[in-house]
C-alpha cells in the first residue's frame, strides 16, 4: 500500500467534518427516510462504482452518476446522500486495500457532492419525484433544477476529487481537473437525462424498470473501456519501440525511461498542462528510436568515432522521425524527436535551429537526455560525478541548453548550482559528447 501523505490525511479529515455536518443537517431536516429505496440505490450505485473504468492519471469514472442523479430526483438530498455513502468502500478499494483515509475521503465526497447537488435541486424548486412524478406540464421549467443539480454535482465532485488527487500525488489540482475531469463534462450531461428517465421509470414500475436501463448503462461503460484500452495500446506500441532500440544499443538500457522521468521533472517545474506532459513522455521514450537504423558496431564502439561514423549517428533523429511519422497518435512528438540534438546557440544538429525556434519539447529533451548521458557510463567514458555534472550544466546553460530548462531540472532534482565554476570555461565546447 502506498504511503498516504499527511496533506491528504488532513484533507480527508476536513472533508469528513464537513460531510458529517451536512449529513446531520439533511437527515434532521427530513421527516421520514425510506430505507428500502436508500438500500436499493445504495447497492446499485455501489455496483456501478465498483466496476468503473480507471482514468489515465489516477481515479476512475463510472456510470454511477445516472443512478446518483436519479436518487437525488426521486428521494431528495438526505436519502440520496445516504445511498451514495455506499461508495466509501467500493470493490476496487477492497481489492487494492486502499487506505482508511481514502475511504474517509470517498465517503465524505459522496455525501458532499450528492447532498449539496440535492439542496441546489430543492432550492431551484425541483420536485421530489417519489412524492410527485413528472408530468408534461412541468416542462420546460423543470429543466432549470435538473441542469443546476447536475452542474452543481459535477463542479463539487470534480473540484474536490482533483484536490484530493493533487494532495495524494503532489501534482497541481488544476492540471488534474483539466486532464482528468474536463473531458468528463459531456459524459455528465449525457448521463443526466438517463438519470431522469431512470427516476421516472422507477416511479412508474418500481425496481424492475431499472433492469431495462442496465443495457444502455453497460454500453456507456463499454465506450469508456474501449477508450482506456486504446490508451493502453498506445503505450504498448511506444514501449515495444523502446525495447527495439534498447535491444540494439544495450548501453542505453533504461535511458529512455530515465529521460522521460527527467523531462517530466522539468515540465512540472514549468507547470505545463498534463496533456503536454503526456506527449512529452512519449517523445522522451522515443527520442532515440532512430538508433534502430544505426549499426550495433557504431553504437557500441568504445573508441573515438570516425567522421563517417559520427555523421551516421547524427542521422538518428531523422531516422526516428521516419519510423514514427506514420503512427497517427505520435504525430505531435515528431518535432521534438527531430530537434532533440539542436543547441540553443544553433551549433547542434539536425539543421542548426536556434534558441526559441527549437520546439520547447525538443529543448526539454535535450537537457534531460544530456543529463542522463552524463550520469551514466557510456562505452567511451565512465559516468561523471555529480560536481562535474553540475559544472557542465552550468557552463553550457545558455549555449548548449536553454537556461530556464537547465534551472528547472536542477530545481526539480534538488541540485545546487555553482555559478563560479560555470564562468571558468564559458565559450569552450562541452567536454562530454552526447549522441
Ligand atoms: Fe539522441
Ligand atoms: Fe538519448
**Any domain includes 266:** yes
Q: How far is the CA of 181 from the centre of ligand 1 (A)?
A: 35
Tell me, in angstroms, the distance from the centre of ligand 1 to residue 317's CA. 7
Beta bridge pairs of residue 217: none
Write out the three cell numbers for 189: 450531461
What's the pLDDT at 16? Answer: 96
How many angstroms is it from 322 CA to the middle of ligand 2?
17
Peptide bond into 140 cis (omega under 30): yes
Residues with Cβ within 5 Å of ion ligand 2?
Answer: 288, 369
Among 181, 212, 243, the domain-final residue is 212
Classify the C-alpha dihedral 214-218-224-225 as positive or negative. positive
The answer on 286 and 180 residing in a single domain is no
Instruction: Please tell me the number of the ligand nearest to residue 341's CA.
Output: 1
Same domain, 194 and 305: no
Residues 154-171: pLDDT tens digits?
Answer: 999 999 989 998 888 888
Q: What is the mean pLDDT of each run of 10 residues along the chain (435 residues)?
A: 83 96 94 90 87 55 81 95 91 79 92 96 92 82 93 92 87 79 77 88 85 70 74 82 82 86 94 89 93 88 87 94 88 95 94 94 96 84 87 92 94 70 43 46
Q: How far is the CA of 418 from the centre of ligand 2 (A)?
A: 26
User: What number of residues does the chain have?
Assistant: 435
In a domain? residue 223: no
Does residue 246 share a domain with residue 168? Answer: no
How many whole angstroms from 256 Cα to the centroid of ligand 2? 7
* The predicted structure's pLDDT at residue 1: 58
Which pLDDT value is given to residue 259? 95
C-alpha 288 to ligand 2 mean position (Å): 5
Q: Are residues 114 and 195 in the same domain?
A: yes
Give the number of domains in the chain: 2
**Domain stops at, among 159, 177, 212:** 212
Cα 308 to middle of ligand 1, angstroms: 17
Judge contact between 173 and 165, C-beta under 8 A: yes
Say yes or no: 364 and 313 in one domain.
yes
| CATH number of the domain bearing residue 15 | 1.10.1760.20
> If you measure from the C-alpha of residue 265 to the centroid of ligand 2, how many angstroms do you get, rounded to a whole number?
17
Q: Which ligand is nearest to the CA of 369?
A: 2
Q: Do 60 and 138 have their domain in common?
A: yes
CATH number (domain holding residue 406): 1.10.3210.10
- Per-residue pLDDT tens for 2-11? 678 899 999 9
Instruction: Look at residue 15 and tell me if it is in a domain.
Output: yes
Q: How many angstroms is it from 94 CA to the middle of ligand 1?
A: 44
Residues whose CB is less than 8 angstroms from the CB of residue 152 and which lie 6 or more positions away in sequence, other chains included: 116, 117, 120, 121
In a domain, 85, yes or no: yes
Centroid of ligand 2 to alpha carbon of 435 (angstroms): 6
Of residues 351, 346, 337, the one with CA closest to residue 402: 346
Residue 143 in domain: yes
Using the mean position of ligand 1's atoms as its centre, give its distance from the Cα of residue 341 in Å: 6
Nearest ligand to the CA atom of 337: 1
How far, in Å, from the CA of 287 to the mean position of ligand 2?
6
Q: What is the pLDDT of residue 337?
A: 96
Ligand 2 centroid vs 247 CA: distance in angstroms?
Answer: 14
Cα–Cα distances in angstroms (integers) from residue 349 to residues 6, 98, 143, 337, in the given order = 47, 49, 60, 12
Cell matching residue 218: 453497460
In a domain, 95, yes or no: yes
> Domain boundary at 154, 184, 212, which?
212
CA of 231 to the centre of ligand 1 (A): 26
Q: Examine the domain organization and report whether 294 and 183 are in the same domain.
A: no
Q: For residue 390, what are the domain limits?
A: 231-424
Q: Report pLDDT for 429.
A: 41
Let me know if residue 433 belongs to a domain: no
Q: Are residues 80 and 169 in the same domain?
A: yes
- Same domain? For 343 and 396 the reply is yes
- Ligand at minimal distance from the CA of 435 is 1
Q: Please give the pLDDT value at position 363.
A: 97
* Confidence at residue 316, expressed as pLDDT on a 0 to 100 scale: 94
Ligand 2 centre to CA of 172 (Å) is 29
For 263-293, b/e burial (b = at least 16 CB within 10 A) is bbbbbbbeebebebbbbbbbbbbbbbbbbbe
Together in a domain, 236 and 316: yes
- Name residues whose C-beta falls within 8 Å of residue 23's C-beta, 6 or more positions apart in sequence: 78, 81, 82, 111, 115
Distance 134 CA to ligand 2 centre (A): 64
Residues 341 and 242 in one domain: yes
Could you tell me if residue 218 is inside a domain? no
Do 285 and 247 share a structural domain?
Answer: yes
**pLDDT for position 423:** 44
Amino acid at each position: 500500500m502506498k504511503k498516504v501523505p499527511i496533506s491528504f490525511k488532513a484533507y480527508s479529515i476536513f472533508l469528513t467534518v464537513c460531510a458529517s455536518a451536512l449529513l446531520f443537517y439533511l437527515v434532521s431536516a427530513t421527516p421520514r427516510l425510506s430505507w428500502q429505496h436508500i438500500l436499493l440505490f445504495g447497492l446499485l450505485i455501489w455496483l456501478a462504482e465498483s466496476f468503473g473504468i480507471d482514468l489515465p492519471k489516477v481515479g476512475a469514472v463510472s456510470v454511477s452518476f445516472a443512478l446518483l442523479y436519479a436518487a437525488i430526483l426521486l428521494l431528495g438530498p438526505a436519502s440520496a446522500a445516504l445511498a451514495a455513502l455506499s461508495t466509501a468502500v467500493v470493490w476496487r478499494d477492497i481489492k487494492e486495500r486502499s487506505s482508511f483515509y481514502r475511504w474517509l475521503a470517498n465517503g465524505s465526497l459522496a455525501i458532499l457532492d450528492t447532498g449539496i447537488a440535492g439542496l441546489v435541486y430543492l432550492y431551484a424548486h425541483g420536485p421530489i419525484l417519489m412524492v410527485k412524478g413528472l408530468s408534461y406540464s412541468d416542462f420546460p421549467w423543470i429543466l432549470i433544477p435538473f441542469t443546476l443539480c447536475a452542474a452543481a454535482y459535477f463542479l463539487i465532485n470534480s473540484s474536490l476529487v482533483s484536490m484530493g488527487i493533487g494532495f495524494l500525488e503532489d501534482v497541481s489540482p488544476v492540471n488534474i481537473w483539466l486532464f482528468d475531469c474536463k473531458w468528463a463534462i459531456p459524459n455528465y450531461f449525457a448521463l443526466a437525462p438517463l438519470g431522469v428517465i431512470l427516476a421516472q421509470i422507477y416511479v412508474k414500475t418500481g425496481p424492475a424498470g431499472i433492469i431495462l436501463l442496465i443495457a444502455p448503462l453497460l454500453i456507456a461503460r463499454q465506450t469508456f473501456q474501449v477508450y482506456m484500452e486504446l490508451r493502453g495500446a498506445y503505450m504498448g506500441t511506444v514501449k515495444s519501440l523502446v525495447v527495439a532500440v534498447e535491444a540494439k544499443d544495450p548501453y542505453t538500457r533504461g535511458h529512455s525511461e530515465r529521460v522521460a522521468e527527467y523531462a517530466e521533472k522539468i515540465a512540472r517545474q514549468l507547470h505545463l498542462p498534463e496533456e503536454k506532459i503526456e506527449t512529452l513522455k512519449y517523445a522522451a521514450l522515443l527520442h532515440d528510436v532512430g538508433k534502430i537504423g544505426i549499426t550495433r558496431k557504431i553504437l557500441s564502439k568504445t573508441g573515438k568515432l570516425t567522421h563517417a561514423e559520427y555523421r551516421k549517428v547524427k542521422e538518428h533523429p531523422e531516422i526516428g522521425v521516419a519510423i514514427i511519422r506514420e503512427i497517427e497518435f505520435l504525430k505531435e512528438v515528431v518535432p521534438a524527436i527531430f530537434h532533440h540534438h539542436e543547441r540553443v546557440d544553433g551549433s547542434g544538429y539536425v539543421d542548426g535551429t536556434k534558441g526559441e525556434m527549437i520546439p520547447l519539447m525538443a529543448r526539454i529533451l535535450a537537457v534531460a537526455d544530456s543529463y542522463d548521458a552524463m550520469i551514466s557510463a557510456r562505452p567511451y567514458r565512465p559516468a561523471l560525478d555529480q560536481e562535474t555534472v553540475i559544472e557542465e550544466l552550468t557552463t553550457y546553460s545558455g549555449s548548449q541548453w536553454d537556461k530556464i530548462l537547465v534551472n528547472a531540472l536542477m530545481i526539480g532534482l534538488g541540485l545546487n548550482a555553482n555559478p563560479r565554476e560555470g564562468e571558468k570555461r564559458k565559450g569552450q565546447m562541452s567536454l562530454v559528447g552526447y549522441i
